[in-house]
Every structure is written in structure tokens, then in C-alpha cells.
């Protein structure tokens, strides 16, 4: 066999890692498991067509079945490795199989509303998806966006206030992208016009937004909550017929308007980035800006525009926290979602589709965690809270393989003496 | 007159890069601009292309005064440029690169059909054989350059500027490029050909303008002799054929066996390479840039992380030891980029001169720097290596390229060494400094040191080396004596044995 290069070696290593994890999981969840209580998955959420309403399986058998799925994922990765193609799909299947197997083991004797789990997963993923699209728009054009967290938090804050004062959710929804763009304006102005270190300015923005929102929260939103912090939230709009599809129908097509906007935006970005003139130019200025400049493209103008666009997108993500879910603003409620969105961007190899999958994966891990604590699984809740983060670390570090950021990411552009 | 420059001046701080330059380029003329590194050729062309703005002077296109504030303006006036560092996006396809900036789109979606046909047509016309769907980074430099030429022609360039186009080419590719220039000329395109290589100028140019220290010092016809041109370019008699002591090699100093190097993204850049260098011998690695020679030089002092095989210095394995230990085992290392790797630009000359021994007696004792020894050391070395500076306490960034290289040489050669690794030691230097570097390397050779010279300048390699190893795609194609013909070397540099 020919000598392996480093990428192949890394893939080989990740396959061995998966095999090792597989062995451990199988040992714990299946071989040594004495749990025979059945775990029951519920599949019915509302009035969708019934395909299957419940599935009950003994904990140990369920674990075994899903470990087989994980093994299948490893096999797929190996085939990908052999034919020198991607091993990512296999890794994702392995991850899902392992998580489900863990679920069967941990939730023995419990009822798991599976469709509800998925619905919550999507809902948790939506702000991450908006956030990573914001990061994508910036980084594809060469500006690092650490300020996603700030954009999300500020727009969550503003949309809640606007919706409360006007008692109109639509005004709240409109104000959110504007708030996101305002935060972007600071980033764009300092990073592009003054060429300040992009990571530092991004970080400063996050701290600034946190301080601002905390201040107004305690001085305005708490004392006058009935006028300033009573936004309410969008209700779900089921899409006729589509929402009746078993299992995925209620998950995907019985959502709020913001989720439908998300579908449209991700599709639009995916197509525009790789097919349109704007996309070609955007990718060009993120890779080799001087080349774009030499054919007459105004690099800094396009970068500025894209950073502003990114602000609009993450603004919508911010709205999800308040008017898209709980209806009120609470202190630092984004809780690091902006940083997870950034991780999703890297995990998804700077592609809209990849970031989407990564965000959904994270959303699933998160929803699983909350679901397990609600059903009273006997594991310390602190440990449970760590699951999504551990899953993300494993995913980002080992299984994605080498990813390549846009070559000019984070490097301010200036030409000669200008 | 498709292009005329009148009294162009440009200065950067104290440096007068262009001083009242006049230039006329006729239709269908190949106009060579000849000058040393740092003479101001690239500055002038960047002004013409709108990447820089002149302090004063006028640009006329077709007898009309124009303002070129942006590359877009230059393109509008029919001026195209093939830059020394290609303006191609490595991860894009050929078609995407050529379409960039002039995309045709329907409902916002780009259509590549028309541009691909155009590429095919031009490619056939020049027998370029270019696949519009190929990804740039998979293509050899020679092909990338052709894509740059096509790109310029697609913009209907009437004046094409070629900035040092042969620096990255093998001799054969250079000949092909010169032919392409002749075809372009026959189509009526004017060409400004920037170079410091006399042979090429005399082969194709119709007119030669020589620039020295930012000034036009003469205009010549290609019938001028090589010496005449060289003397105008440098401003005095030059002798780049230094005298070499008789070749009398000793035992092996450096033995490399089965060395493979991987870059950070896992690609193998040097594979199963074996070499040996004897005491009192200069072994040159010849090859087009980017064939693994930079990584080889870095690997010898253990600056490359991912490698396998064996590197022995005087019979002792050094592969895998630290950079410091490899240097102290007796290697002088002259890195490819003196600005980035050779010197710390914000440190003074004095400090730069003890970077390698700053923790040893007598530069330091008991954790404290010995200031008086350090400045004494600097005074001696600056004198010995003829570093031209106002003060030894000046920042190294204030020095010219040649003087920076002298500081690097002074530091590296003042240690007790057995092997000198010199990577592109004369790149970007003026002729005076080149002569100095040659002299020092030959002195080390006479002192029975082993020398590994890595250079993409064929003349330099043939002049200095005792043996020449040609590298292609990370493998040694062959090792030949220095009396080999240019043609043979050229073929080997293209991977043909």
C-alpha cells in the first residue's frame, strides 16, 4: 500500500478513534448493561397522519440496534477513506448512532417523545444557523466575525423592546435585523476602515453589548416590565399538507415564521455563494483580495457590504430568542450561542450546507440533554449540560479532518500607499 | 503611441523609487525595461496599472492624457498586466478566475458558457492547451502564467505589461514565453517586458530602456552587447564570474538519506531524497521555485515538523533534534526570507548579530546579557562584513536588502560551522551585494566547509556549484557536474532525465 499522507493519516486515526469509542460504548451500553426496562419513543405530536405512534424496545436491545447503526457509520467512513473521499457522512451517522444508543441506555423505563425531541432540536438550532450564516458571510469575504454573540444578544434585546412597546410582533421582527446590522456597523467600521485586529474588535463588541443590555435590563426592563418587556411570541403556522407528513411534518413545517425565513435564507446563501456574481466576488476577496482588486473589484466596499448583510442575518437569529420563543428578554440570554455558531461554521467547513448540518447536530445534542433531565434520568444535571459541548468538541477536533479557512480570512486589505 | 509616460516620479519616504521617468511604447513593440532589483521597475509598472499613484508625472494613452486611479481604469484604457506574483485565486477554476470582474449573469446566476468558449479559442490560437475547468492550484506555474496572459487578452489589452515573467520558468518554458511574446507582437499588441536578465532582453526586445536607482540611464537596441547593457544597468564594470579555488573535496559532511517532508496540509513536498555534500564542496539544488527546495533547506535545521528519513552531519544524526541543537551542531543557515526568518526587524543590528548565541558565554553570563561584549562583537562584524549603516544600534529594518543579508551572513558565518545552508542567498539583491555573497560563500568553500546552495537562478548555480542536483516535484532528478549545458539542466528542471 502506498504511503499515507497526513490527511489520510488523520482520517485513519479518526476511524481508529471511532472504533475505540464503538468498543467502549458497546461494552457499557450493551454488553455490561443489565437494563431490561423498555424505552418508549413517541412519534405523535399533533394531528399529523399516523405512520407509527409508539415504538417500545428493551433498553439493552435498543442500545445494541443503535450501536449497529454506529458501526455502519464507521463502515461508511472506511469506504470513504479507501476511495479517498470524504469520511464526514459516516462520522455523522456514527455520532447519531452513539447518541441514540446512549439514550436507550440512559432513559431505560422512560417515555421519550421523539418528535418533540426533534422539534426542540430544530428550534435550538435556528439561532445557531442564523449565527453561522452571519459568520459565513463575513469570513467568506475575509473578515473574521467573533461578534456573532453580540449581534444575537443585541437584536434579541431590541426586538423584545420594540415588540413590547408597539405591541406588534412584526415591528419586533423588523427591528431585529436592523439591530444586528448596527452591531455589524461597528465591526465593519473598525475592522475595514481602521484595520483594527478583527478578533479583538469582535471581542470588544461582545463585551460592550453584554454591558449595555445588562444595564438597560436592570434599569428599564425589570422595573417597567409590563411595557418594556412583554413582547409575546410568534405562534406556529402549520403549512397545509406538508405539516401532516409523519414525523418530519410537524418538525419542519409547523414552525414560526422565523424558521421559514431561515429555510429561505440558507437556500439563498447556498445558491448565491456558489452560482452568482456576488458569490464569486465574495469568495475572491476572501481568498486573494489583491487579485480581485487587480480586475477592478472594490474589495473593502464589498467586504463592508457583506459584514452589514451578516448583521441583518444574525439579527433574525437574535429575534428567535425572544419573539421567536419565550416572548421576553432576560439577561445574557444568548448564553454563548454566537460562539457555538462560530464552531458550527468551522465544523461545516465554511459552507452553508455544512454549517446547517453542524447546527442541527448541536441542536439535537442540546435538546436531548434537556429532554433527559426533564424525564428524570439519574445522571447529574451538570454532567448532562456538558453533553452538547463535549459532542461539539469531539466533532470539531477529530472527525471533520483538516479544513481550510478562506485564505485571506482576518487580514485587512490595503493596496500600496492607499 | 499606445502608451507614453512623462516625468513620472514617486518616492516612499526617503527613497526616490522613480525619478522623472519618460517612456514611449510603440504599437506592436516589445519594449524591455531592464534594471537591477530595487531599481524601480515594478514601482513604475504599478503606477501604470493604477496600483500606486505617482507623486508627479503624466500618463498618455493613444496621445490622450489619462488618469489611472484604479486597476479598473488601466483595464478600461487597454492596459493589461501579468504580475510577478500571479493574481489568480488558487481555489477557483480557470474560468472563474478569468470571469472575475467581468461576469455575465442571467437573473444573478453567472453563465460561464461564453467565457469558456473564449478561453478555448484564445488557448487554441496560442497552442496553450488550457482546460477552463481546471483548478488553478493544481496547475504548474508555467500554465498559470499563460492563464494570466489570456486573462489580460480577454480584457482586450493593447499594452501588456509582463513583470519579471521568467523568474518562475524553466529555460524551455522561457523560450516558449518569448515565442508567445512574438506572436502577440505580430497581432499588434505592445508589450512592456520587465526583467533583469540580459539574454532574454536581447532575444526579443525591439527597444531597451535601462533604469538605475529610479532613473532612466539609457535606451538601447538589442544589438547592444551584453557588457554594455550590464554596465549601464549597474553603473560600473561588473564581473559576476568570481574566481574559484581549485576543487579539492574532503570527506562527507552532510549525508541525507531517504528524506521525506510533508507540509501542514499533509501533502508530500519532498520524497525519499538522498544527497551528500563533502567538505570544500558547493552542492547546488537547482529547480523551479516550489519544487520542495525551500522545505529541504528548512528541514536540515529541523524547522519542518513532518519528516522522515535521516540527516547526518559529520556522521551524527540530527534529524528530529531542535533547531538550536542543529545550528549548534555546526550549521550556518541563511534563510530564504531575510526579512521574515533571517532577522528580527525591530531589533537593532547588535541584537540581531547575537540571536544565535544570546544565551551562551560570552554574550551572556548568569542570565544577564553582556552589553559591552555584544556591541564590541557588532562593531567587529559590521566592519568585517561591510554592513553600511549609520549606527550599530539602528533597527535592522532600516537597512537595505543587501545590508540585511550581510548581517545574516555575519551572524551565521561567525559561528564555528561545518555546513552552510544558503537558501536563495542573492534573491532581490543588487549586483554589488551579490558579488559580496558569492565571495563569502567561496571563502567558506576554500575553508573546507560544505555548502548547500539553493537557488532558482541558473547562472548562479552554474557559476558557483561544484555539483548540481536538480529537484523536481520533491525528487532529485539527477546530480550533474557544473559544466553541464543549460539545455540539459532546463530539461531536468522540467522533470525529464
Which pLDDT score is estimated for A399?
55
Q: Between chains, do B89 and A291 touch, taking CB under 8 Å as contact?
A: yes
Neighbours of A336 (CB within 10 A): 12
Number of residues assigned to chain A = 418
Residues of chain B in Cβ contact (below 8 Å) with chain A:
12, 46, 49, 51-53, 70-72, 75, 81, 83, 86-92, 96-97, 99-103, 105, 108-110, 151, 260, 262, 264-268, 306
Which residue of A7, A295, A416 is in closest CB contact with B52?
A416
Residue A87 and residue A80 in contact, taking contact as beta carbons nearer than 8 Å: yes
Answer whether B3-234 and B239-330+416-497 agree in fold: yes
Chain A contact set for B87 (CB, 8 A): 288, 290-291, 294-295
Q: Which helix (H) or strand (E) holds B162?
A: strand B159-163
In whole angstroms, give the CA distance from residue B103 to residue B96.
9
Which pLDDT score is estimated for A1?
37
Q: Which of B146, B127, B130, B42 is nearest to B88 (CA)?
A: B146
Helix (H, G, I), strand (E, B) or coil at B51: coil
CA angle B334, B338, B339 (to 5 degrees): 160
Helix (H, G, I), strand (E, B) or coil at B157: coil
Which cell numbers in the block locate residue B57? 508625472
CA-based nearest distance A214→chain B, Å = 43
Q: Hey, of A280, A281, A298, A404, which one would you mutate to test binding to chain B, going by the most B CBs within 10 A of its CB?
A: A280
Which cell numbers in the block locate residue B115? 467565457
Residue B472 and residue B492 in contact, taking contact as beta carbons nearer than 8 Å: yes
Give the CATH class of B3-234.
Answer: alpha beta
In whole angstroms, give the CA distance from residue A278 to residue A285.
11
Tell me: the pLDDT tens digits for B366-419? 889 999 999 999 999 999 998 988 889 989 888 888 899 999 999 999 988 999
In whole angstroms, give the CA distance from residue A18 to residue A94.
8
Which pLDDT score is estimated for A417?
39
In whole angstroms, give the CA distance from residue B245 to residue B319.
32
In whole angstroms, give the CA distance from residue B265 to residue B306.
10
Neighbours of A320 (CB within 10 A): 32
In whole angstroms, give the CA distance from residue B199 to residue B166.
11
Which cell numbers in the block locate residue A174? 423588523
- Interface A-B, measured as beta-carbon pairs within 8 A, has a size of 99
Q: Between chains, do A5 and B46 touch, taking CB under 8 Å as contact?
A: no
Q: Which residue of B has its CA nearest to A414?
A: B51
What is the pairing mode between strands B364-365 and B368-369?
antiparallel
Q: Between chains, do B268 and A416 touch, taking CB under 8 Å as contact?
A: no
Which pLDDT score is estimated for A403?
63
Q: Between chains, do A295 and B110 touch, taking CB under 8 Å as contact?
A: no
End-to-end Cα distance, chain B: 47
Q: Between chains, do B87 and A290 touch, taking CB under 8 Å as contact?
A: yes
Q: Which helix (H) or strand (E) holds B468?
A: strand B467-472
Q: Between chains, do B92 and A287 touch, taking CB under 8 Å as contact?
A: yes
Which residue of A7, A296, A416 is in closest CB contact with B266?
A7
Chain B contact set for A275 (CB, 8 A): 109-110
CA angle A351, A356, A360 (to 5 degrees): 150
Q: Is the pLDDT of residue B312 over 50?
A: yes
Number of residues assigned to chain B = 497
Q: Which residue of A has its CA nearest to B50?
A: A294
Which cell numbers in the block locate residue B76? 478600461
Which residue of A276, A404, A417 is in closest CB contact with B108?
A276
In whole angstroms, give the CA distance from residue A127 to residue A338.
8
> In which band, very low, low, confident or very high, does the pLDDT at B21 lie, cut at 50, 70 and 90?
very high
Where does chain A hold its CATH 1.10.3470 domain(s)?
124-399
Chain A contact set for B51 (CB, 8 A): 293-294, 415-416
Residue B151 and residue B128 in contact, taking contact as beta carbons nearer than 8 Å: no
Q: Between chains, do B90 and A402 touch, taking CB under 8 Å as contact?
A: no
Chain A contact set for B97 (CB, 8 A): 291
Q: Between chains, do A281 and B100 touch, taking CB under 8 Å as contact?
A: yes
Q: Between chains, do B110 and A277 touch, taking CB under 8 Å as contact?
A: yes
End-to-end Cα distance, chain A: 54
Which pLDDT score is estimated for A416?
57
Name beta bridge partners: B331. B419
Print pLDDT tens along chain A (418 aa).
Answer: 345 566 677 778 888 888 898 998 888 888 887 777 888 888 877 777 777 778 888 888 888 999 999 999 899 888 888 877 777 778 878 888 888 888 888 888 888 888 888 888 999 999 999 999 999 999 999 999 999 999 999 999 999 999 999 999 999 999 999 999 999 999 999 999 999 999 999 999 999 999 999 999 999 999 998 999 998 899 989 888 888 888 788 889 988 999 999 999 999 999 999 999 999 999 999 999 999 998 889 999 999 999 999 999 999 999 999 999 899 999 999 988 999 999 889 888 899 998 998 899 888 888 888 887 777 776 776 777 777 677 666 666 555 555 678 888 888 998 753 3
Residue B52 and residue A417 in contact, taking contact as beta carbons nearer than 8 Å: yes
CA-based nearest distance A4→chain B, Å = 9
Which residue of A9, A287, A296 is in closest CB contact with B90?
A287
Q: Which of B330, B320, B312, B353 is nearest to B420 (CA)?
A: B330
Which pLDDT score is estimated for A394?
64
Q: In the 3-class helix/strand/coil scheme, how is chain A assigned residue by residue?
A: CCCCCHHHHHHHHHHHHHHHHHHHHHHHHHHCCCCCCEEEEECCCCCCCCCCCEEEEEHHHHHHHHHHHHHHHHHHHHHHHHCCCCCHHHHHHHHHHHHHHHHHHHCCCCEEEHHHHHHHHHHHHHHHHHHHHHHHHHHHCCCCCCCHHHHHHHHHHHHHHHHHHHCCHHHHHHHHHHHHHHHHHHHHHHHHHCCCCHHHHHHHHHHHHHHHHHHHHHHHHCCCHHHHCCCCCCCCEECCCHHHCCCHHHHHHEECHHHHHHHHHHHHHHHHHHHEHHHHHHHHHHHCHHHHHHCCCCHHHHHHHHHHHHHHHHHHHHHHHHHHHHCCCCCCCCCCHHHHHHHHHHHCCCCHHHHHHHHHHHHHHHHHHHHHHHCCCCCCHHHHHHHHHHHHHHHHHHHCCCCCCCCCCCCCCCCCCC
Q: Hey, of A270, A284, A287, A294, which one would you mutate to test binding to chain B, going by the most B CBs within 10 A of its CB?
A: A294
Which cell numbers in the block locate residue B294? 525551500
CATH topology of domain A124-399: ABC transporter involved in vitamin B12 uptake, BtuC (1.10.3470)
Those residues whose C-beta lies under 8 Å from the C-beta of residue A409, and which sit 6 or more positions away, are A139, A142, A143, A144, A286
Which pLDDT score is estimated for A2?
46
Q: Between chains, do A288 and B100 touch, taking CB under 8 Å as contact?
A: no
Ranges of each domain in chain B: 3-234, 239-330+416-497, 344-415
Chain A contact set for B148 (CB, 8 A): none
Which pLDDT score is estimated for A312?
97
Q: Which helix (H) or strand (E) holds B449?
A: none
Residue A91 and residue A77 in contact, taking contact as beta carbons nearer than 8 Å: yes
In whole angstroms, give the CA distance from residue A197 to residue A411.
8
The DSSP code for B113 is H
In whole angstroms, give the CA distance from residue A264 to residue A260.
7
Which of B199 and A87 is assigned the larger pLDDT?
B199
Q: Between chains, do B268 and A5 touch, taking CB under 8 Å as contact?
A: yes
What is the pairing mode between strands B215-220 and B190-195?
unpaired
Which residue of B91, B102, B266 is in closest CB contact with A287?
B91
Chain A contact set for B90 (CB, 8 A): 287-288, 407
For B493, phi then psi, to 5°, come to: -65, -20
Which cell numbers in the block locate residue B463? 557559476
Residues of chain A in Cβ contact (below 8 Å) with chain B:
3, 5-10, 271-272, 275-278, 280-281, 283-284, 287-288, 290-297, 402, 404, 407, 415-418
The secondary structure of B378-414 as a DSSP string is HHHHHHHTT---S-TTSBGGGS-HHHHHHHHHHHHHT
Which pLDDT score is estimated for A418?
37
Residue A274 and residue A287 in contact, taking contact as beta carbons nearer than 8 Å: no
In whole angstroms, give the CA distance from residue A27 to residue A22.
8
Which pLDDT score is estimated for A396?
60
Q: Between chains, do B266 and A9 touch, taking CB under 8 Å as contact?
A: yes
Stretch B272-299: mean pLDDT: 93
For B303, phi then psi, to 5°, come to: -85, -15
Q: How many CA atoms lie within 13 A of B477 on its CB side?
A: 23
Alpha helices in B226-319 (DSSP H): 226-234, 293-300
Q: What's the whole-number average pLDDT of chain B?
A: 90
Q: How many CA atoms lie within 13 A of B433 on its CB side?
A: 22
Domain B239-330+416-497: homologous superfamily in CATH: P-loop containing nucleotide triphosphate hydrolases (3.40.50.300)
For B236, phi then psi, to 5°, come to: -165, 175
- In percent, how much of chain B has pLDDT > 90? 58
For A28, phi then psi, to 5°, come to: -75, -50
Q: Which residue of B has its CA nearest to A280?
A: B100
Which pLDDT score is estimated for B482?
87
pTM of the model: 0.82
Residue A338 and residue A315 in contact, taking contact as beta carbons nearer than 8 Å: no
Chain A contact set for B270 (CB, 8 A): none
Q: Which residue of B has its CA nearest to A405?
A: B91
The DSSP code for B242 is -
Q: Which helix (H) or strand (E) holds B419?
A: strand B419-423
Which pLDDT score is estimated for B167?
78
Amino acid at each position: 500500500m502506498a504511503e499515507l499522507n497526513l490527511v489520510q493519516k488523520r482520517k485513519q486515526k479518526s476511524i481508529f478513534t471511532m472504533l475505540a469509542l464503538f468498543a467502549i460504548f458497546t461494552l457499557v451500553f450493551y454488553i455490561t448493561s443489565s437494563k431490561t426496562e423498555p424505552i418508549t419513543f413517541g412519534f405523535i405530536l399533533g394531528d399529523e397522519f399516523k405512520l407509527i405512534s409508539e415504538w417500545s424496545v428493551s433498553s439493552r436491545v435498543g442500545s445494541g440496534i443503535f450501536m449497529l447503526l454506529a458501526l455502519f457509520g464507521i463502515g461508511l467512513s472506511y469506504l470513504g477513506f479507501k476511495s479517498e473521499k470524504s469520511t464526514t457522512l459516516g462520522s455523522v451517522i456514527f455520532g447519531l448512532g452513539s447518541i441514540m444508543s446512549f439514550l436507550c441506555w440512559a432513559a431505560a423505563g422512560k417515555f421519550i417523545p421523539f418528535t418533540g425531541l426533534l422539534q426542540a432540536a430544530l428550534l435550538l438550532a435556528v439561532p445557531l444557523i442564523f449565527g453561522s450564516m452571519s459568520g459565513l458571510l463575513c469570513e467568506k469575504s475575509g473578515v473574521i466575525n467573533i461578534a456573532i454573540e453580540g449581534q444575537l444578544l443585541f437584536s434579541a434585546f431590541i426586538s423584545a423592546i420594540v415588540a413590547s412597546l408597539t405591541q406588534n410582533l412584526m415591528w419586533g421582527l423588523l427591528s431585529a435585523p436592523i439591530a444586528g446590522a448596527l452591531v455589524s456597523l461597528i465591526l465593519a467600521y473598525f475592522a475595514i476602515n481602521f484595520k483594527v485586529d478583527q478578533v479583538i474588535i469582535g471581542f470588544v463588541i461582545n463585551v460592550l453589548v453584554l454591558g449595555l443590555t445588562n444595564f438597560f435590563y436592570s434599569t428599564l426592563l425589570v422595573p417597567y416590565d409590563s411595557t418594556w418587556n412583554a413582547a409575546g411570541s410568534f405562534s406556529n403556522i402549520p403549512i397545509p399538507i406538508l405539516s401532516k407528513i409523519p414525523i418530519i411534518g410537524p418538525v419542519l413545517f409547523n414552525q414560526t415564521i422565523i424558521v421559514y425565513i431561515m429555510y429561505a435564507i440558507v437556500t439563498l446563501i447556498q445558491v448565491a455563494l456558489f452560482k452568482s456574481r456576488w458569490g464569486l466576488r465574495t469568495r475572491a476577496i476572501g481568498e486573494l483580495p489583491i487579485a480581485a482588486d487587480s480586475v477592478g473589484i472594490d474589495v473593502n466596499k464589498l467586504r463592508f457590504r457583506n459584514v452589514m448583510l451578516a448583521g441583518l442575518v444574525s439579527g433574525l437569529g437574535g429575534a428567535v430568542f425572544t419573539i421567536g420563543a419565550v416572548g421576553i428578554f432576560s439577561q445574557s440570554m444568548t448564553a454563548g450561542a454566537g460562539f457555538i455558531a462560530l464552531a458550527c461554521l468551522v465544523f461545516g467547513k465554511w459552507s452553508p450546507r455544512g454549517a446547517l448540518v453542524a447546527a442541527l447536530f448541536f441542536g439535537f445534542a442540546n435538546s436531548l440533554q434537556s429532554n433527559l433531565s426533564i424525564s428524570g434520568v439519574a445522571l447529574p444535571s451538570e454532567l448532562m449540560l456538558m453533553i452538547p459541548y463535549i459532542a461539539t468538541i469531539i466533532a470539531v477536533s477529530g472527525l471533520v479532518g483538516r479544513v481550510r479557512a478562506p485564505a485571506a480570512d482576518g487580514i485587512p486589505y490595503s493596496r500600496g500607499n492607499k | 503611441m499606445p502608451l507614453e509616460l512623462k516625468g513620472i516620479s514617486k518616492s516612499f519616504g526617503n527613497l526616490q523609487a522613480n525619478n522623472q521617468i519618460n517612456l514611449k511604447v510603440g504599437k506592436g513593440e516589445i519594449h524591455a525595461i531592464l534594471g537591477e532589483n530595487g531599481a524601480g521597475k515594478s514601482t513604475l509598472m504599478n503606477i501604470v496599472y493604477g496600483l500606486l499613484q505617482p507623486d508627479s508625472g503624466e500618463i498618455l494613452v493613444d496621445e490622450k492624457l489619462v488618469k489611472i486611479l484604479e486597476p479598473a481604469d488601466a483595464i478600461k484604457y487597454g492596459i493589461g498586466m501579468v504580475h510577478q506574483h500571479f493574481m489568480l485565486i488558487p481555489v477557483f477554476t480557470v474560468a472563474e478566475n478569468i470571469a472575475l470582474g467581468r461576469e455575465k449573469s442571467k437573473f444573478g446566476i453567472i453563465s460561464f458558457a461564453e467565457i469558456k468558449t473564449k478561453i478555448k479559442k484564445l488557448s487554441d490560437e496560442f497552442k496553450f492547451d488550457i482546460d477552463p475547468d481546471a483548478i488553478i492550484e493544481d496547475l504548474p506555474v508555467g500554465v498559470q502564467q499563460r492563464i494570466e496572459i489570456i486573462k489580460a487578452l480577454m480584457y482586450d489589452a493593447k499594452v501588456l505589461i509582463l513583470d519579471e515573467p521568467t523568474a518562475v520558468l524553466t529555460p524551455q518554458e522561457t523560450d516558449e514565453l518569448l515565442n508567445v511574446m512574438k506572436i502577440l507582437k505580430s497581432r499588434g499588441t505592445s508589450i512592456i517586458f520587465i526583467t533583469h536578465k540580459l539574454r532574454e532582453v536581447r532575444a526579443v526586445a525591439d527597444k531597451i530602456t535601462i533604469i538605475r536607482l529610479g532613473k532612466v540611464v539609457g535606451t538601447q537596441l538589442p544589438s547592444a552587447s551584453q557588457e554594455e547593457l550590464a554596465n549601464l544597468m549597474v553603473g560600473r564594470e561588473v564581473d559576476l564570474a568570481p574566481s574559484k579555488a581549485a576543487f579539492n573535496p574532503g570527506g562527507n559532511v552532510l549525508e541525507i538519506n531517504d528524506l521525506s517532508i510533508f507540509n501542514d496540509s499533509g501533502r508530500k513536498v519532498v520524497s525519499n531524497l538522498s544527497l551528500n555534500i563533502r567538505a570544500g564542496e558547493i552542492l547546488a539544488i537547482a529547480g523551479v521555485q516550489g519544487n520542495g527546495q525551500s522545505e529541504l533547506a528548512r528541514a536540515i535545521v529541523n524547522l519542518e515538523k513532518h519528516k522522515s528519513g535521516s540527516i547526518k552531519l559529520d556522521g551524527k544524526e540530527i534529524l528530529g533534534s531542535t533547531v538550536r541543537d542543529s545550528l549548534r551542531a555546526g550549521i550556518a543557515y541563511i534563510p530564504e526570507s531575510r526579512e521574515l526568518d533571517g532577522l528580527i526587524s525591530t531589533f537593532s543590528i547588535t541584537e540581531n548579530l547575537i540571536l544565535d548565541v544570546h544565551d551562551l558565554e560570552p554574550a551572556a553570563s548568569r542570565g544577564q546579557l553582556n552589553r559591552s561584549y555584544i556591541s564590541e562583537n557588532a562593531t567587529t562584524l559590521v566592519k568585517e562584513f561591510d554592513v553600511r549603516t549609520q549606527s550599530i544600534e539602528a533597527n535592522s529594518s532600516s537597512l537595505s536588502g543587501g545590508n540585511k543579508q550581510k548581517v545574516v551572513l555575519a551572524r551565521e558565518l561567525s559561528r564555528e560551522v561545518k555546513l552552510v545552508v544558503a537558501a536563495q542567498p542573492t534573491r532581490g539583491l543588487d549586483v554589488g551585494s551579490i558579488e559580496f555573497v558569492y565571495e563569502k560563500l567561496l571563502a567558506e568553500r576554500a575553508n573546507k566547509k560544505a555548502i548547500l546552495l539553493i537557488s532558482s537562478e541558473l547562472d548562479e548555480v552554474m557559476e558557483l556549484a561544484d555539483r548540481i542536483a536538480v529537484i523536481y516535484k520533491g525528487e532529485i532528478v539527477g546530480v550533474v557536474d557544473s559544466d553541464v549545458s543549460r539545455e540539459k539542466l532546463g530539461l531536468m528542471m522540467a522533470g525529464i532525465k
